[in-house]
Amino acid sequence: MKSGFTLIELLVVITILAVLAGAALPYVQNYVEESRVAKAKADLEEIARALAVYETREGDYVKTDVSDLTGRYLNKAPIDPWGVSYIVDPEAGIVYSSGPDRKSNTTADRLDNINFPYQPPLALVTVKWVDRNQSGAVDVQNTPDQLQLSFSRKLGNDVTSFDEISEIGPMLAATVGGVLTSLSNLVVSSSVQIVATRTLVYDVGTANVFTAGQDSVNVVAGNGIIDQAQPTPNKCISDQNVRILPQ
């Protein structure tokens, strides 16, 4: 006749199983958390693509949720793996999940956020010559011509950062006839405007000071041009020559 397990043997088995389960639990928890993060990143990438298409077709996206994307650019509005809606930050050009703590109000809250950019890095993308008096030449007669410098993201700088010769020099340069010079030698510094938060507009300072289609403008290395990302703004990419083209 076979005897069953004794109480002591059962307790030993239960103890061993408990130890094994306790050892495995952190690995299981890590796997679950990694799966959630991977799911959030996949969702964010899909939303970022939809936002990029929206801005190409319809202009700046201004809402902080994805409601205007649903139906036209997204099949549905996804919820992150922690049960919270994804958030769009139009000023920073990112979409993000609040992460495991489900909060993003303070700097400490944002430490576990999962971010994904839907706009390219801050860079000078186009420089347009505006022939305002339709003379066909770069001139300042009656209504001065203009240069419009457009960036890929909204600028975090105030207009006063660009309205003096001493300020323009360390940030913006031009190559005219193969010679590098400050942009301030081409424009009237004090005339600057910021249009739609991402375009600098200057009046041309002197007739025939540049040749459209040949000369270029670039952002200087070590410049102070920033975007509106929080808590840490991104600096502008430098040393990329952007050709001056007619509008």
* CATH number, domain containing residue 72: 3.30.700.10
For 137, 147, 199, 212, 247, the CA distances from 209, given in Å and listed in that order, are 10, 12, 21, 10, 17
pTM, two decimal places? 0.77
The residue among 82, 102, 117 that closes a domain is 117
Residue 2 counted as domain residue: no
pLDDT < 50 regions, the chain:
none
Task: Based on the fold, state whether residues 104 and 183 are members of the same structural domain.
Answer: no
Specify the CATH number for the domain of residue 145. 2.60.40
Residue 186 counted as domain residue: yes
Task: Based on the fold, state whether residues 94 and 205 are members of the same structural domain.
Answer: no
Tokens of 50: 């939809």
Residue 225 counted as domain residue: yes
pLDDT of residue 107: 81
